[in-house]
A and B are shown apart, each in its own frame.
Chain A
């Protein structure tokens, strides 16, 4: 039934593209078949779908969105979409404790050679302002030097579907892809997180 899952994926992508007229702006890199982690600002449930839609199909199916287990595990439709259509990696949004590493499923996916779509803010903000990045991005960068960490800035998505609303307003969204951000040899965790966040902020869309 893989063809059916792909068909559902195609349909959702088409729907998202009609509603948002999304447009990819490859500023600092090209869509290439390398192992990557795309990290972006987070403002709506449409986010990863649109980022996923902007990748060429051959890369898209090697790229898995990281999503919250609480939201996507809540109903059988959501479970079907996240597991079969998007091949998402689910994470528990609890604080890490002894014996529970929330990054473990992400590391497993990277070890298997997949690329990831990751939102380092954790949750969506109300006003579209970008929040501080959580530590997960640093740990992943430290443990996976072979992976390219590509910053992505998503423009207007918070206006298309503000938090708490289910129906999207059709607006043109621009997704800008920047140059990969690498972890410095002895760069401290807060410095890296600030630099990575700034890389997303700095990209202004080309009009």
Chain B
């Protein structure tokens, strides 16, 4: 059976080369989620609705269904759909981040510029595949302009701290996250029209690494890695999660331009960076005295709680692919 022919109804924004693989992947993800949902229902039936861990598991799984559906719809919109989705994700993430900073009245214009100038501009440049611009817009132009705008507010109290927090918010929530759709701008010989699958590869590896670290930690976790920063992270969870997510990445080599060994290497880099991201973002939350970044995603917390690992792995994955696989 030629599946590609039966998928003609999918809008032609998605290049034909990527359709069949994407369809198979989503069938696979659907099967995994269905399994998780059934386990959740069975546990709830056995242990009762009052069990907090089970309730959280069910809420998390339900949120995953929604997130997978949203990503699926964005992929149907092709490259524009993915750019718009991550633009919105950046907006919600930046909103959560700036909420927890200690900006003052004097930062008003700087913050307006963050949200309504630099965020949209960054995604326009990504959408245009203008590497020279999207790679320096925030580290150079925003970095120099934002503190100047903050000066116009005539407030010097905690100036350096405020300027730093604003720049951090832009770097993490806009610059780093925009490197997910930026994967579409890479020209890899022999992989033309299939870049959407690189986005799928990155998200799948990084998110399953989070889930697998959580699962391994719950099953075998004994030794805490950083009890002061993130009490739920254990050595067993870390090793088991990294190893199994690396294995998953290697098994997904057929959707990438990599050999199985290269895919494993990439997945290892992604999971290690993702772990670092989770730890750093957790340290910020601790410092600000909150448990979650927000409440947008039921069972998970805020947008940034789900994306902390993506923030750190996306730029590194982008540059590894760019250095080793583009001309």
Contacts and interface: CB of A to CB of B under 8 A. Distances in A.
B129 interface: no
A188 B111 CA distance: 45
Contact of A156 (B99, B105, B289): B99
Interface string A1-39: 000000000000000000001010000000000000000
Interface stretch (B4-12, B185-193, B200-208, B291-299): B291-299
A185 interface: no
B218 interface: no
Interface stretch (B17-25, B89-97, B252-260, B310-318): B89-97
Contact of B294 (A21, A126, A162, A169): A21
Given A162-B105, A165-B108, A172 B292 contact: no
Given A21-B92, A21-B95, A156-B99, A169 B292 contact: no
A138 to B, nearest CB: 31
B50 to A, nearest CB: 20
Contacts of A189: none
Given A159-B103, A169-B111, A207-B290, A21 B296 contact: yes
Interface in B211-249: none
Most A Cβ at <10 Å: residue of B91, B289, B295: B295
B115 interface: yes
A172 B96 contact: yes
Most B Cβ at <10 Å: residue of A23, A169, A170, A207: A169
Contact of B99 (A127, A162, A171): A171
B294 A172 contact: yes
Interface string B282-311: 000000011110111000000000000000
Contacts of A21: 92, 95-96, 294, 296
Contacts of B290: 207
Contacts of B95: 21, 170-172
B98 interface: yes
A43 to B, nearest CB: 11
A167 interface: yes
A165 B115 CA distance: 16
Nearest to B302: A172
A172 B99 contact: yes
Contacts of B160: none
B112 interface: yes
B98 A169 contact: yes
A18 to B, nearest CB: 9
Q: How large is the interface on A (under 10, 10 to 19, 20 to 34, 35 or more residues)?
A: 10 to 19
Interface in B70-99: 91-92, 94-96, 98-99
B64 to A, nearest CB: 21
Contact of A162 (B108, B115, B295): B108
Most A Cβ at <10 Å: residue of B98, B103, B289: B98
B295 A167 contact: no
A170 B105 contact: no
Contacts of A126: 105
Contacts of A170: 91, 94-95, 115
A167 B296 CA distance: 24
Given A21-B296, A169-B111, A170-B91, A127 B105 contact: yes
A158 to B, nearest CB: 8
Contacts of B96: 21, 172
A171 B218 CA distance: 34
B302 to A, nearest CB: 8
B291 A207 contact: yes
A156 B103 CA distance: 11
A171 B98 contact: yes
B112 A167 contact: yes
B284 to A, nearest CB: 14
Given A127-B105, A171-B99, 5 more contacts: A21-B296, A126-B105, A165-B108, A172-B294, A207-B290
10 nearest A-B pairs in the assembled complex, by CB-CB distance: A172-B99, A169-B111, A207-B290, A171-B99, A162-B105, A170-B95, A165-B108, A167-B112, A170-B115, A207-B291
Interface of B: 91-92, 94-96, 98-99, 103, 105, 108, 111-112, 115, 289-292, 294-296
18 contacts: A21-B92, A21-B296, A126-B105, A127-B105, A159-B103, A162-B105, A162-B108, A165-B108, A167-B112, A169-B112, A169-B115, A170-B94, A170-B95, A171-B99, A172-B96, A207-B289, A207-B291, A207-B292
